[in-house]
Amino acid sequence: MKIAMIGTGYVGLVSGVCFAEFGFQVTCVDKNPAIIERLQAGEVTIYEPGLDELLLRNARDGRLVFTTDLETTVADADVIFIAVGTPSRRGDGEADLQYIYAAADEIAAAMKPGAVIVIKSTVVVGTNADVRARIGKARPGVAFSMVSNPEFLREGSAVEDFLRPDRVVVGVHDDAGAAAMKRVYRPLYLRETPMIVTTLENAEIIKYAANAFLAMKVTFINEVADLCEKTGGNVQDVARAIGMDNRIGSKFLHAGPGFGGSCFPKDTRAYAATGRKMNAPQTLIEQVVTINEQRKRSMATRVIEAAQKNGEKSVAVLGIAFKPNTDDIRESPALDIIPVLQKAGLAVRAHDPEARVAAEPVLPGVTWCKSAYEAVEGAGITVLLTEWNAYRALDLKRVANLMSGNLLFDLRNVYSAQDLDGTGLEYHSVGRPL
Ligand code: NAD
Ligand code: UGA
């Protein structure tokens, strides 16, 4: 079975590499020649733990190739995955499906009869049916199957998530599509990973509902943190205890500076927009979007108020990526917070283990540092924004000695007040007593 993977971003590259690891012949296509040139040269284009080893091995063994030639690849493929971006459309928050439709048109022109076309990108309900109709119109009389196969991997643990998912969701309209998916996911199937075979529409809604629910959980605990701060509570104790109820679950209850990333923000906006459009208001998620945006701004306000109170003029920011173990900065809280700090007249020094290359062009005026210690040197305030392991065991006495001021805002609750004992640092965390 030959697989074509259209789009070699975070999802396409990980999926392509992992299908090759399953033993299939995979051709990854991207329209960006710079990405393909680097991949052909054996250079991994994103930072994702474990990906480089799998990529190099499968490329070396000839199961994984990279090209910009969509037409030839698709003409020879049995299963064609679409893993292109579905960003937010400016203004209304709806998902911009132009890349999906463009890819579908190119695929329609080149596919062989009997091809199985799979949308792995996150697309609003109705898109698979639309794409199916569009391809049917472009190639009348040519048989093909349409499959919706949303992806649930997380950045930073994408390889592990792909190879060991909680479940695989497959939306189909015919048996051929379902059979093809059973084949491509056979290695997981054999390990008894549940495979939900359902309709195209259900699969689309499942993906958005899952992300919306997780984003809602994070937003919920962030508001609990606010209440804890006003009342002397401790959000970690509260989260731990409520999470022990299996109906609630312990995951995604870490309070922080607001969720970011390439998906939660855009997917909650798109989900809410779909609700408005279909006259089925998703009021809860509308609120989640608003609360999360306000939260990022309120984190900047906290730091600015402390700076004004203490006469501080500079801030060290540790962590720019939206979460650890990725170089992805899309909609990262840092991108909202840093410009607000700068506008308030604060000089910003920053460090991130992997995200600097992506961040430098979009955060002008920041002084980039090679280490956390270099970043805190001379800073009045240190803000820990991303919980990279490298920031979990900082020598806080050294940090205190290097800083000109003594305020530490730990917006990920990495440390405890006891860790700060004897350092002279004034500790501010999220939803916990001082
Ligand atoms: P991305 O922006 O990192 O990558 C998309 C790639 O597709 C780009 O390299 C682009 O050049 C390429 N592309 C666009 N049109 C093309 C075409 N016609 N032919 C060939 N290549 C083309 O996107 P991503 O983060 O991988 O996300 C892809 C989809 O997967 C989105 O719908 C997203 O919501 C969903 N998703 C993402 C994640 C994640 O962790 N990033 C997880 C689950 C689902
Ligand atoms: C998320 C989902 O977890 C994946 O299942 C999904 O496939 C993906 O979106 C997607 O559709 O793209 P990802 O964005 O990579 O994955 O990362 P998460 O670990 O979910 O974190 C998202 C954001 O929420 C981060 O900013 C993170 O810091 C924040 N978060 C997460 C919290 O603030 N607290 C938590 O307890 C969990």
134-156 per-position pLDDT tens digit:
999 999 999 999 999 999 999 99
153: annotated binding-site residue? yes
Contacts of 41 (CB under 8 A, 6+ apart): none
Rounded-to-integer distance, Cα 352 and Cα 337, Å? 15
* pLDDT value of residue 433: 86
Fold match, 2-193 / 264-428: yes
Q: What is the rounded average pLDDT of the residues 63-78?
A: 98
Torsion over CA of 72, 78, 82 and 83, rounded to 10 degrees?
Answer: -100
- Domain ranges (residues) in the chain: 2-193, 264-428
Contacts of 15 (CB under 8 A, 6+ apart): 5, 81, 83, 120, 151, 162
What is the side-by-side strand order in the sheet with 79-82? 64-67, 25-29, 2-6, 79-82, 115-119, 144-148, 168-172, 195-199
Rounded-to-integer distance, Cα 220 and Cα 242, Å? 12
pLDDT at 434 over 80: no
User: Which element (helix H / strand E) includes 176?
Assistant: helix 175-184
Q: Tell me the best of 30, 81, 267, 325 to mutate to test the pocket of ligand 1, counting ligand atoms within 8 Å of each CB and taking the most.
A: 30
pLDDT band at 90 (very low <50, low <70, confident <90, very high): confident
DSSP secondary structure letters along 117-136: EEE-S---TTHHHHHHHHHH
| DSSP-derived secondary structure letter, 164 | S
Rounded-to-integer distance, Cα 371 and Cα 316, Å? 11
Rounded-to-integer distance, Cα 64 and Cα 292, Å? 40
* pLDDT value of residue 252: 98
- Annotated active-site residue 263? The verdict is yes
60: annotated binding-site residue? no
pLDDT band at 189 (very low <50, low <70, confident <90, very high): confident
User: Is the CB of 323 within 6 Å of ligand 2?
Assistant: yes
CB 356 within 8 A of CB 331: no
251: annotated binding-site residue? no
Rounded-to-integer distance, Cα 401 and Cα 263, Å? 39
* pLDDT value of residue 191: 84
Active-site position among 18, 28, 228, 263: 263
Q: What is the CA(27)–ligand 1 centre distance, in A?
A: 16
380: annotated binding-site residue? no
Residue located nearest, by CA, to atom 29 of ligand 2: 259
CB 47 within 8 A of CB 74: no
Q: Tell me the best of 84, 121, 264 to mutate to test the pocket of ligand 1, counting ligand atoms within 8 Å of each CB and taking the most.
A: 84
Q: Tell me the best of 5, 10, 328 to mutate to test the pocket of ligand 1, counting ligand atoms within 8 Å of each CB and taking the most.
A: 10
User: Is the CB of 83 within 6 Å of ligand 1?
Assistant: yes
Q: How many CB atoms lie under 10 A from the CB of residue 233? A: 16
Read off the pLDDT of residues 6-34 as tens digits, 9 standing for 90 and up: 999 999 999 999 999 999 999 999 999 99
* pLDDT value of residue 91: 83
* pLDDT value of residue 368: 98
User: Is the CB of 31 within 6 Å of ligand 1?
Assistant: yes
pLDDT band at 409 (very low <50, low <70, confident <90, very high): very high
User: Is the CB of 102 within 6 Å of ligand 1?
Assistant: yes
155: annotated binding-site residue? yes
Q: What is the rounded average pLDDT of the residues 245-273?
A: 98
253: annotated binding-site residue? yes
Q: What is the rounded average pLDDT of the residues 87-105?
A: 94
Residue located nearest, by CA, to atom 30 of ligand 2: 259
Q: What is the CA(7)–ligand 1 centre distance, in A?
A: 6
Read off the pLDDT of residues 328-387 as tens digits, 9 standing for 90 and up: 999 999 999 999 999 999 999 999 999 999 999 999 999 999 999 999 999 999 999 999
SS percent in the chain: helix, strand, coil, step 5? 45, 15, 40
| DSSP-derived secondary structure letter, 345 | T
* Fold of the 264-428 domain: Rossmann fold (3.40.50)
Give the chain's radius of gyration (CA, Å).
23
Residue located nearest, by CA, to atom 14 of ligand 1: 84
DSSP secondary structure letters along 254-292: ---S---SSSHHHHHHHHHHHHHHTT---HHHHHHHHHH
Read off the pLDDT of residues 37-68 as tens digits, 9 standing for 90 and up: 999 999 999 999 999 999 999 999 999 999 99
ipTM: 0.98
Report which bound ligand comes closest to the CA of 122: 1
User: Is the CB of 256 within 6 Å of ligand 2?
Assistant: yes
* pLDDT value of residue 61: 97
Q: What is the CA(281)–ligand 2 centre distance, in A?
A: 24
Among the four given CATH numbers 3.40.50.720, 3.40.50.970, 3.40.190.10, 3.40.30.10, the one describing domain 2-193:
3.40.50.720
pLDDT at 425 over 80: yes
